Structure formats: structure tokens, C-alpha cells
């Protein structure tokens, strides 16, 4: 499931926020990001999802987080080896509904 098809507004927002932080290489990845799996934590405020296969254990070397500044909620990216691997989306119920519908 392509992010741009499933959550086009979020995809556009991610791209704009990354460009605003001068993260142009990450911004260029947004159009090809796939939602691979929902977070699965069960928290009622979480709409997070993996864009790469879920790791077994910690991400390890080459991992960092990037906190973005959305107008609503929270957006935090896990980047591994220069690739967006997880999109943490918190306090965005409209996105949570769509992610849960795709990954119950």
C-alpha cells in the first residue's frame, strides 16, 4: 500500500515538513513509501506504521530519529541507513482510523 494512495494528505505533509527541515533526500522518499505494517501497540492515540519490514529487536547501527513539527499531533521518523523505516504518528485520530482499517 503506497502512502501517497492510502494517506495522501499525510504523505504531502511529511514531504513538506522534511523539505522545511532541509531533509531533501528523505523528502524524495515519500512518494515511494509503502505502509508495510501497522504499529500494533494498541494505544488509542497511535496511528504509527512501518515503511520497511519490522526489525527483530532494535534497529542497530545507522538508526536515528527525526522529530517533525506538524500543525496537529506528533510525527517522528525512524531512519535506518538513510531510509525512512517507521513513521510514528500520534494524536491524529483521522489517520488512526485509516491505518486500523488497513491493518486491523
Please tell me the predicted confidence (pLDDT) of residue 80.
97
Q: Give 52-103 pLDDT, tens digit per residue.
A: 999 998 998 999 999 999 999 999 999 999 999 999 999 999 999 888 888 7
- What value does the CA radius of gyration of the chain take, rounded to a whole number of Å? 13
DSSP per residue over 35-88, as a string?
A: --EE-----TTB--EESSPPPSS---TTEEEEE---SSSEEEEEEETTEEEEEE
pLDDT of 10 > 80? The answer is yes
**Residue 38: what are its φ and ψ, rounded to 5°?**
-75, 165
Number of CB atoms found within 10 A of residue 59's CB = 16
* pTM, 2 dp: 0.94
Percent of the chain residues topping a pLDDT of 90: 84
Amino acid at each position: 500500500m503506497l502512502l501517497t494512495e492510502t494517506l495522501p494528505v499525510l504523505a504531502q505533509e511529511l514531504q513538506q515538513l522534511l523539505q522545511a527541515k532541509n531533509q531533501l533526500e528523505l523528502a524524495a522518499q515519500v512518494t515511494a513509501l509503502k505502509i508495510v505494517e501497522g504499529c500494533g501497540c494498541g494505544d488509542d492515540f497511535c496511528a504509527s506504521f512501518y515503511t520497511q519490514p519490522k526489525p527483530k529487536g532494535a534497529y542497530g547501527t545507522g538508526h536515528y530519529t527525526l522529530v517533525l513539527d506538524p500543525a496537529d499531533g506528533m510525527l517522528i521518523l525512524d531512519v535506518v541507513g538513510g531510509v525512512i523505516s517507521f513513521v510514528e504518528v500520534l494524536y491524529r485520530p483521522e489517520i488512526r482510523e485509516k491505518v486500523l482499517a488497513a491493518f486491523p
